[in-house]
């Protein structure tokens, strides 16, 4: 990597951290839902999972997405390194292809039993706020990064496009999990193209027919195209049950439980 490319992960982390702090302040100032579990314990667990996830990825898959794009460019690997496209078109194709790939991945984590065992750690959070975006089992994060790197290399995605996507996707993930809602009219306009917290909150409903919908994180295009879009929940979002029906107690707020949850029978 050259100096500029070396700096991209740091820039991406700074953007994500700034978005996290901003959204935390917004949801504290104008929370949409009252908390069900103690905030301190939940935040500790969710952020501890994020720290473990980050360490696991750095240890096992140090390239990450931008590194995979650099490797593909250096070796001439991937579709976009084999065909000549204008830079702007290769950039656009990369953003769309990666967003579609992560929609498919998210759909699979709900449909493949082994993947669901890992992904249910994320869904067992009984509250819904920006820290929920950080709550994933380390095994899922490692598998996810391996999948994303494979997609980047197969596509031969341009480095800058991968960086923009990765940073934008991280911010979108934080935004869609934030504990606030846009005004109803604005929400309807925005979600014609982009996922909003109100739309994604339905995905975290304890009703499985609602959990198995709204898989998108950035674009609503794929949910609409593949028939997984759900406009509203059965219950009012202020009152609907968040999490999974089988774990409506205080266990999801505990770090130890979150780490062993994929290996439990429920």
- C-alpha 116 chain-centroid distance: 15
Instruction: Check residue 6 and give its pLDDT.
Output: 72
Q: What Å distances lie between residue 229 and 101, 128, 167, CA to CA?
A: 17, 20, 25
DSSP state for residue 192 in the 8-state scheme? T
Long-range CB contacts (within 8 A, 24+) of 242-246: 242/33, 242/36, 242/125, 242/126, 242/127, 242/128, 242/201, 242/204, 242/205, 242/206, 243/123, 243/124, 243/125, 243/126, 243/204, 243/206, 244/120, 244/123, 244/124, 244/206, 244/211, 245/206, 245/208
Range of the domain at 154: 3-263
Q: Per-residue pLDDT tens for 185-204?
A: 999 999 999 999 999 999 99
The pLDDT score that the predictor gives to residue 1 is 45
Q: How many domains does the chain have?
A: 1
Encode pLDDT of 47-103 as tens digits: 999 999 999 998 888 878 999 999 999 999 999 999 999 999 999 999 999 999 999
pLDDT number for residue 173:
98
Give every residue of the chain whose pLDDT is below 70, as ranges.
1-4, 266
Q: What average pLDDT does the structure give for the chain? A: 95
């Amino acid at each position: 990597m050259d100096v500029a490319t070396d700096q991209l992960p740091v820039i991406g982390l700074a953007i994500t951290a700034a978005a996290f702090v901003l959204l935390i302040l917004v949801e504290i100032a104008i929370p949409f839902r009252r908390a069900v579990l103690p905030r301190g314990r939940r935040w500790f667990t969710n952020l501890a999972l994020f720290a473990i996830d980050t360490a696991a990825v750095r240890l096992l898959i140090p390239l990450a997405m931008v590194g995979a794009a650099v490797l593909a460019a250096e070796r001439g690997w991937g579709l976009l390194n084999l065909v000549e496209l204008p830079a702007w078109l290769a950039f656009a194709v990369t953003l769309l292809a990666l967003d579609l790939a992560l929609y498919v991945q998210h759909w699979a984590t709900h449909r493949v039993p082994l993947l669901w065992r890992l992904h249910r750690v994320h869904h067992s959070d009984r509250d819904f706020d920006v820290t929920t975006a950080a709550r994933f089992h380390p095994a899922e994060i490692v598998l996810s990064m391996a999948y994303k790197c494979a997609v980047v290399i197969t596509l031969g995605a341009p480095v800058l496009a991968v960086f923009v996507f990765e940073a934008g996707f991280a911010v979108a993930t934080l935004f869609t999990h934030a504990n606030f809602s846009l005004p109803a009219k604005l929400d309807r306009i925005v979600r014609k193209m982009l996922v909003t917290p109100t739309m994604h909150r339905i995905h975290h409903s304890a009703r499985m027919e609602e959990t198995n919908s709204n898989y998108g994180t950035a674009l609503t295009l794929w949910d609409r195209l593949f028939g997984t879009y759900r406009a509203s929940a059965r219950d009012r979002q202020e009152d609907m049950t968040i999490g999974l029906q089988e774990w409506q107690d205080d266990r999801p707020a505990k770090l130890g439980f979150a780490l062993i949850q994929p290996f439990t029978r429920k």
